[in-house]
């Protein structure tokens, strides 16, 4: 991408799409599939916060522009909170149970706690983002590694993941929807 244009892949670096072992034309399975789909979701989170970060200094002083922009940033915050709540209450406990290792995802939950206060702080938005984004960026990347390490546990991760997706999609009222529609739920 041209360095002359402020693309939404910076300042907080996106997670490589190949990190989960994805190969063009090859269907991924098991923990690699989970990591691949989580990478897409985490990159969505990163791209949106990058747009907030890059545009917060360009918002016009009109009440409508400021209100629209603040609403956009608030919706991002809600999405991140809902994503992590679903992980902590549904996804991680299931992973720990299936792997047979209580506390396996504890480090990821601790990372959630480390940056969540930044999602609600007032003041200057850019400095708020600076206060928590290094930890959030590290967490989003580390969680992919945590998912990939689940290969160490000889479990049927595909079956579990399919059941999880059906359960979460069922809440939305349409079990035919694809994972991409769950982006703000995971």
Contact 105, 92 (CB under 8 A): yes
Average predicted confidence (pLDDT) for the chain:
85
In a domain, 140, yes or no: yes
Q: Provide the number of structural domains found in the chain.
A: 1
Q: Which two tokens stand for residue 62?
A: 């009109």
Which structural domain range is residue 57 located in? Answer: 31-152
- The whole-number average pLDDT for the span 29-57 is 92
Minimal CA–CA distance to 69: which of 59, 61, 77, 78? 59
End-to-end CA distance of the chain: 29
Dist CA 135 CA 125 (whole Å): 16
Whether the pLDDT of residue 23 is over 90: the answer is: no
- The whole-number average pLDDT for the span 41-57 is 92
In a domain, 83, yes or no: yes
Cα 6 to chain centroid distance, Å, stands at: 22
In a domain, 21, yes or no: no
pLDDT digits (tens, 9 = 90+) for 61-78: 777 888 899 889 889 999
pLDDT digits (tens, 9 = 90+) for 119-156: 765 445 678 788 889 999 999 999 999 999 999 999 99
Dist CA 163 CA 6 (whole Å): 40
């Amino acid at each position: 991408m041209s360095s002359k244009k402020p693309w939404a892949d910076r300042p907080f670096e996106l997670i490589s799409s190949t990190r989960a072992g994805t190969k063009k034309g090859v269907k991924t399975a098991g923990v690699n599939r989970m990591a691949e789909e989580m990478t897409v979701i985490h990159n969505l989170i990163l791209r949106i916060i990058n747009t907030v970060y890059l545009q917060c200094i360009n918002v016009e002083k009109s009440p409508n522009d400021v209100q629209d922009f603040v609403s956009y940033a608030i919706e991002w915050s809600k999405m991140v909170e809902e994503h992590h709540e679903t992980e902590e209450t549904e996804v991680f406990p299931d992973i720990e149970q299936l792997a047979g290792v209580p506390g396996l995802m504890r480090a990821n939950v601790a990372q959630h706690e480390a940056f969540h206060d930044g999602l609600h702080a007032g003041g200057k938005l850019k400095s708020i983002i600076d206060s928590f984004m290094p930890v959030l960026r590290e967490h989003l990347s580390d969680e992919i590694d945590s998912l990939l390490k689940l290969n160490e546990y000889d479990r049927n991760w595909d079956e579990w993941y399919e059941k999880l997706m059906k359960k979460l999609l069922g809440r939305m009222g349409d079990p035919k929807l694809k994972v991409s529609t769950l982006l703000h739920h995971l």
